[in-house]
Amino acid sequence: MKHARVAYAGAIHDAIEVSGRLRLPFGRIVAEDEVMWLPPIEAGTIFALGLNYADHAKELAFKAPEDPLVFLKGPQTLCGHLGQTVRPAGVTYMHYECELAVVIGRTTRNVQREDAYHYVAGYTVANDYAIRDYLENYYRPNLRVKSRDSATPIGPWLVDAADVSDPMNLRLRTLINGQVTQEGSTRDMIFDIPALITYLSSFMTLEPGDVILTGTPQGLADVRVGDEVVTEIEAIGSLTNTIVAPPEESNVG
């Protein structure tokens, strides 16, 4: 089943997908363009993986990590399907990152690899924008690069884990203004989903609603104001987002 969170008629609703439309809790069926899309979950802790695809690490001239390279993001970084993300004034390189997002469904601590999938509620699509201008060094990692308000579109759907037969064999791709610029597969992750859940739960407790962004394959490209960026993952969904200027730079009139 595909789940969503949307704003409609002045209220926030949990909805499910029915034949390409949305069914709200009180039974009303509405079209997808009649609602404002929100992140499909109310996120807790957001874990983001860096360099989790060997081809992406090579693309950035980094050595593939020997242990998961993880950093945290605040929930204010998330925005929904059809949302807008600001490209700050003066930056020279801002790129998308199509990522499979894993949503935890049960309290998780010291989980063994063979049991890891039992703790997954479902999966969604994330686009974790990065601004390379702001990347500094090991001691000042990805805060300004990755934790900007609304710089991580996510959704549209949370797909139940039971409906995804093999999350480690899904095609990913990104399109800018209709042109394919990135293609890959989750099978090429360095650290797969069970490895990540086992690793994180070995030293901290994961809670329902926590999100693991599992990294992106190679194929990055700069995005500019006005670009429409679509990130797609097989069996999960297609997430659309638009790049905008800072409010003070937007045209008025």
pLDDT one-digit tens code per residue, 80-89: 999 999 999 9
Q: What is the pLDDT of residue 252?
A: 43
Q: Can you list the domains of the chain with their CATH numbers?
A: 1-37 (2.30.30.370), 39-249 (3.90.850.10)
Q: Read off the tokens for 23.
A: 């069914």
Q: Give the model's pLDDT for residue 136.
A: 64
CB count within 10 Å of CB 195 equals: 15
- Residue 60's pLDDT band (cuts 50, 70, 90): low
Phi-psi region of 47 (alpha: psi -120 to 50; beta: other; left: phi over 0): beta
Asked if the bond preceding 156 is cis, omega within 30° of 0, the reply is: yes
* Cα diameter, the chain: 59
- 65: confidence class by pLDDT, cuts 50, 70, 90: confident
DSSP string, 190-232: SS-HHHHHHHHHTTS-B-TT-EEE----S---B--TT-EEEEE
Global pTM value: 0.93
Q: So what's the pLDDT on residue 144?
A: 73
Contact 150, 85 (CB under 8 A): yes
Q: Are strands 171-176 and 94-95 parallel, antiparallel or unpaired?
A: unpaired
pLDDT of amino acid 178:
98
According to the model, what pLDDT value does residue 139 have? 43
Inter-residue contact 235 to 107 (CB < 8 Å)? no
CA atoms of 23 and 28, how far apart (whole Å): 6
Average pLDDT over residues 151-168: 98
Residue 162 pLDDT level (bands cut at 50, 70, 90): very high
Q: Measuring CA to CA, which residue among 75, 78, 57 is closest to residue 66?
A: 57
